[in-house]
Chain A
Amino acid sequence: MIIADTLIQGILLGGLYALFATGLSLIFGVMRLVNLAHGDLMVVAAFAILIGVEALGLPIILAAIVAGVGMFAFGYLLQSLLLNRTLGKDILPPLLVTFGLSIILQNGMLEAFSADTQRIPFGALGGASIALGGGLAVGVMPLLTFVSAVAVIVFLNWLFYHTETGRAFRATSDNPEIAQLMGIDNSRIFALAMALSLVVVAIAGLYLGARATFDPLVGPSRLIFAFEAVIIGGLGSFWGTLAGGIILGLAQSFGAQISPEWQTLSGHIVFLLVLLVRPRGLFPRAVD
């Protein structure tokens, strides 16, 4: 019983982690950029939705959509004005700049919202669950999270492999110089990718705020989970990221049975094991 329950919890948790990780995977795939502020941006999105709901009285869906649009614009601007300038052969500039950004975001949120923990009020939905029979139940929220993760991945796959924009993404990812010669404006593509990534981040922020409490400083740990999910799954495929998220979720779920600290620790250990045995991840697609 407990095992089945833990299993389900783990898988559904994996959906959340997959959401965290997909945005990261997207921008790394297209422009080889690791955004150290990724987790903090998720928290920013969560706060944005919270403000929408509490201060502006919007229904959660609307607040989420507004936040999504806002994050899209923010991502586009962030990439075109700031991050595009850091891309290049050296990994230090983007790392440092996004690290600096992370510090700024965290402390900015601390100033604005204090260190109190917050939660996006979903009302009844937040605690509802569906009975599966045999004593098992799945929380509606976690299920919704998982379904959203799958939906996002399906959409991204469609975008990448069946649209003009997606082709531009892939061309730029394979060979930015040749892509440029073919008339693709790399800066625009990157900005678009970042904008897209932040929309996914906004969705992740929504579920972050729904499933658990959050505060301004919780970003980096989410980043680590996202990162671990990407590495475990393997670079270059969104389904791989989902798989990675699920494995991480399972590891944490089982670890949590021991103690709260072991939840995170188990995830780390599984991550390190995968690294030792299969450094390119379990389902790598890209030749990196």
Chain B
Amino acid sequence: MADAAIDASRYRVAKSTRASIIALAVMAVLVPALVLAPAVMSRSLLQDLFFVLTMITLAQCWNLLAGFGGLVSIGQQAFVGLGGYAGFALAILVGFDPLAAIACAGILGALLALPTGFVLFRLQGAYFAIGTWVAAEVYRLSFAQWTTLGGGTGTSLPSDVARGIVGLETVATLFDVRSSHARDILSYWVALVLAVAVIGAIYAFLRTRNGLALSAMRDNPDAAESVGVDVRRVKFAVYVFAAAGAALTGALIYYQKASITPQSAFSVIDWTAFVLFIVVIGGIGTLEGPIIGALILFALQNWLADFGTWYLMALGALAILVMLVAPRGLWGFVVERYDFSLFPTRRRLIGPDTPVPDYTQPVREMRLPHAAGVSGADLPLEVPTMFDIETDVLIVGSGPAGVASAALLSSYGVANVMIEKYSWLANMPRAHITNQRTMEILRELGVEEEVYKEAVPQELMGNNVFCESLAGEEVGRLLTWGNHPARRADYELASPSKMVDIPQTLLEPIIFGKAMREGCLVRFKTEYLSHTQDENGVVVTVNDRVADVTYRIRAKYLIGADGGRSQIVEDLGLPLEGKADLAGSMNIEFDADLSHLVEHRPSVLYWIFQPGSAGGIGAGVLRMIRPWHKWLGMWSYDIAKGRPNYSDEEIRQILFRLIGEEVPLKVTRVSYWAVNNIVARRYSVGRVFCMGDAVHRHPPTNGLGSNTSIQDAYNLAWKLKLVLDGTADPALLDTYNDERQPVGKQIVNRANKSITDTLPIFDTLGISETETQEEMRRQLDTRKASTVEAEAQRKALNKQIRNKSYEFNCHGVEMGQRYRSAAVVPDGTPEPEYTRDRELYYHPTTWPGARLPHVWVERDRQKLSTLDLVGRGRFTVLTGVAGAGWSLAAARVSAETGAEVRAIQIGPGCEINDTFGDWALVSEVGDSGCVLVRPDGYVGWRAPMLSADPAAELRQVMRRILGRAA
């Protein structure tokens, strides 16, 4: 919002356009030419021009009333007739010069408009329109009673009266013509003057503030009143003006005709229907329209008037057509297409920061629905159109990455909109393993407990069984997901959160709920179509599939989380490396009570070696969705042969092979997917950031998919927040790509490798080539022999099964990412060595780029993790007892940079107590040193001890991270 005062002198308001100045010049030439025209024109041409000019005048007056003022009248013939009769009365009965009679007729028209308007303004809208018609009828009937002027049959102008007009002889002599011709010339001149004067007067009026008042009254009379416009006065002003114009024209027309009847003078067809057609076809609400319309009518009249009724019917049909198809008429079309105006009235504000839009581009009219209680009578009939949405971040896709982004951004206070093509979140329980890093993020969001309630705990996850079938012989078993006592310690030490198994169908709603509570705006059944971006933001075109309406969403940044077949990735042209469709796999969801087969060995995954299952993910799998009655069976198919068309019975047979016995079961869904080995080489272009499956596509082995997706979101969210609130430079957003792309690459490789690690087991067991159950059983039995080969085989099998720890106990891969980017400031120390296998084991360190290690500390007797002290959208400086200098530095730098940097001292006597002394152990800095933790819990920098000028150092580091290093 603006707070500084503005220099108004840098702004000006322009009304004229180049076109209008040219038009003015043209008029300056044209009008005198028209004045001189009688010298060269034939009499019939003169009469034609007279017709055109008078119609133009009438049309301009009507246009002022209806087009500019919103007062639709179909009774202007009242004043035309009045003018005609007044002119005649004054000329014949009172003896005025016809010219004076015409002028006075105009005044009379204006005077009578006052009481007429007074009565008629009690009506609104269409009823006002009919009321004007009634008024005209009243006038007609009244004048038809006036026998002095011929009553119902009318009268004619005596020729001596007609010739009594001033200047007739002069004109006749000047142009050397007879008096009737001279009368025509004079009439023509008066018509010309009248037309020019009326157009000039209207134009001048519209350019004053009264023009604005008129438009305001047309658009919303109530609101106009409330800003001080005297609506009644404006209404009367235009009504009286139009009446005067009509009366003057009527008087002139009938002077020229020299005879009058009530029928003709008050004819609806001649003075309203034709005028309506002129204005509507020419262009209502513009000054140019009536001119064009009059010319068109004239042309039509000339060609078609002989056709009598057909001509009128054609006019009627034409008016209907124009009203439906091009309601703004011919000139309206020109204005819209070319923003071209000869008589412009729009005010344009020109100055810094005030763009003048390209008026030829359709600016979408936003139709906002009215609140109930307001009369909806004037709402359009079609289904309410969507309006353009504007937000800071648009998220496409409501998978794990999408909802996580929405929840995080919303809780950071960033306005965001999430759109999803389908009508709800995941309906297939694909992702399920939720590792500790992800749980920590959910912990920060405050939904950790909710997840624990819904999830299957770690203890029930870890008996990874390798068998011939569930009921059949077990070939080997591995304790996984941290369930081995030795590994359990690793897992418990590493994080305050526990790894769990929760199907995507249950996890997404929890995160989604958080996002909604925090203010995310979601649109389901809204499909991303395309986007464009420029230096100010992104415009995304989407389609609401319910209303089948396409509209646009404007955002400063776009997050593409639209899954493994991401359209956004394709639109951006992100380079992808790797291969898709390496192998085919099927998921068969089914309900069956298998507890008797698994309760003694609870696990989330059971690996089944069956003939024909070795493709796909490496073996057949039975995965527990809900213990122990909801399952997912995985089987492979030859992707080269395309999707198989299994019947229901064949599906059941596959399941029975996996289970090993024919238990009662019910198949609920079958779906097909392919193994991919794809990672994007770049995750972002400009203001568009892709995450999740869109940029790393791999099989579900290792259970890393949704975890990585959510962590992608976590990495980007705080950066977007800081850039959007101006604290950080947009360069910070580049670090998203630098930090997460290597991770994506690593997990894609790891997941694909895990598949290949399964094949050796088949080989060792000798069952990779078997085709029947009997064959397989015979092979499996070989390892039970007491031969030397069998012993070797048993040893090999043992080794290979333990090797699967790289799939199921890959703690290092799950927890140990270390970032290298501009948002990590090295402290000059070398990367600490990996003392154990870096994939299997997590190595906690505070080396910049690593995640802050977890240890338990205490505040006021409440147990907290170090991870609870950091994150939440702000920077944190962790220091010890001797680190007060860092606290002060943090406060200063916080104020200077605008980024919240909170300092926390850990140690005796401090806010946080290092209960077990574990922090001192893992902090890797001295008591006076500090660890700067980024809003995503990763270490941005550290110092071993207090430096001479901690504020300067911290400032420099922060500026680097925020991308503001000079």
Contact = CB atoms under 8 A, between A and B. Distances in A.
Whether chain A touches chain B in the assembled complex (some CB pair under 8 Å) = yes
Contact of A227 (B134, B152, B323): B134
A104 B313 contact: yes
Interface string B353-394: 000000000000000011010011111110110000000000
B276 A96 contact: yes
Interface string B539-580: 000000000000000000000000000000000000000000
A228 B130 CA distance: 9
Given A88-B381, A261-B141, A272-B119, A228 B126 contact: no
B125 A100 contact: no
Contacts of A100: 315-320, 323
B141 A279 contact: no
Interface centre among B119, B269, B316 (most CB of A within 10 A): B316
Contact of A103 (B125, B152, B316, B378): B316
A178 B375 CA distance: 10
B767 interface: no
Interface stretch (A10-18, A79-87, A124-132, A194-202): A79-87
Given A85-B324, A176-B381, A268-B137, A94 B376 contact: no
Nearest to B315: A103
B323 A91 contact: no
Interface in B174-218: none
A176 B320 contact: no
A82 B141 contact: no
A230 B370 CA distance: 29
B123 interface: yes
Contacts of A271: 134
B141 A268 contact: yes
A160 interface: no
B109 to A, nearest CB: 19
Contacts of A221: 137
Given A95-B129, A276-B122, A269 B381 contact: no
A264 interface: yes
B153 interface: no
A241 interface: no
Nearest to B67: A92
Contacts of B315: 100, 103
Interface string B120-132: 1011011101110
Contacts of A92: 66, 72, 284, 323, 327
A38 B663 CA distance: 76
A107 to B, nearest CB: 4
Interface in A254-288: 261, 264-265, 268-269, 271-272, 275-276, 279, 287-288
Contacts, number: 156
B312 interface: yes
Interface in A168-227: 173-178, 180, 186-187, 190, 220-221, 223-224, 227
B313 A224 contact: no
A59 interface: no
A140 to B, nearest CB: 31
Q: Kindly state the interface size class of chain B when it binds its partner.
A: 35 or more
Contact of B317 (A36, A85, A90, A104): A104
B141 A264 contact: yes
Interface in A223-264: 223-224, 227-228, 231, 261, 264
Nearest to A269: B138
A164 interface: no
A110 B310 CA distance: 10
B138 A272 contact: yes
Contact of A175 (B144, B317, B319, B376): B376
A231 B141 contact: no
B248 interface: no
A34 B66 CA distance: 17
A265 B313 contact: no
Interface in A30-87: 32-34, 36, 82, 84-87
Interface string B894-927: 0000000000000000000000000000000000
Contacts of A275: 119-120, 122-123, 131
Contacts of B280: 96
A33 B127 CA distance: 10
A231 B124 CA distance: 12
B867 interface: no
A87 B327 CA distance: 13
Interface in B315-336: 315-320, 323-324, 327
A96 B138 contact: no
Question: Chain B at the A interface: mostly helix, strand, loop or mixed?
Answer: helix
B376 A107 contact: no
A228 B72 CA distance: 18
A108 interface: yes
B74 interface: yes
A51 to B, nearest CB: 19
A97 interface: yes
Interface string A107-151: 110110000000000000000000000000000000000000000
A279 B122 contact: yes
A232 to B, nearest CB: 12
B547 to A, nearest CB: 12
Contact of A97 (B130, B135, B320, B376): B320
Contact of B138 (A97, A180, A223, A268): A268
B647 interface: no
Given A269-B138, A276-B119, A108 B313 contact: yes
Contacts of B320: 82, 96-97, 100-101, 104
Contacts of B133: 220, 224
Given A103-B313, A107-B309, A177-B369, A265 B381 contact: no
Contact of A187 (B119, B120, B370, B381): B381
Interface string B489-510: 0000000000000000000000
A22 B70 CA distance: 28
Contacts of A173: 377
Given A97-B323, A176-B377, A104 B316 contact: yes
Interface in B103-154: 119-120, 122-123, 125-127, 129-131, 133-135, 137-138, 141-142, 144-145, 152
13 contacts: A33-B126, A89-B378, A89-B379, A104-B320, A174-B375, A176-B376, A177-B379, A220-B268, A227-B130, A264-B141, A268-B138, A275-B119, A276-B122
Given A32-B377, A103-B269, 20 more contacts: A36-B130, A82-B324, A84-B381, A85-B324, A87-B380, A88-B381, A92-B66, A93-B323, A99-B74, A100-B316, A103-B316, A106-B312, A107-B310, A177-B384, A220-B268, A223-B130, A227-B127, A268-B134, A268-B138, A288-B377
Closest 5 interchain pairs by CB?
A: A103-B316, A34-B126, A279-B122, A107-B309, A100-B316
Interface of B: 66, 72, 74, 119-120, 122-123, 125-127, 129-131, 133-135, 137-138, 141-142, 144-145, 152, 268-269, 273, 276, 280, 284, 309-310, 312-313, 315-320, 323-324, 327, 369-370, 372, 375-381, 383-384
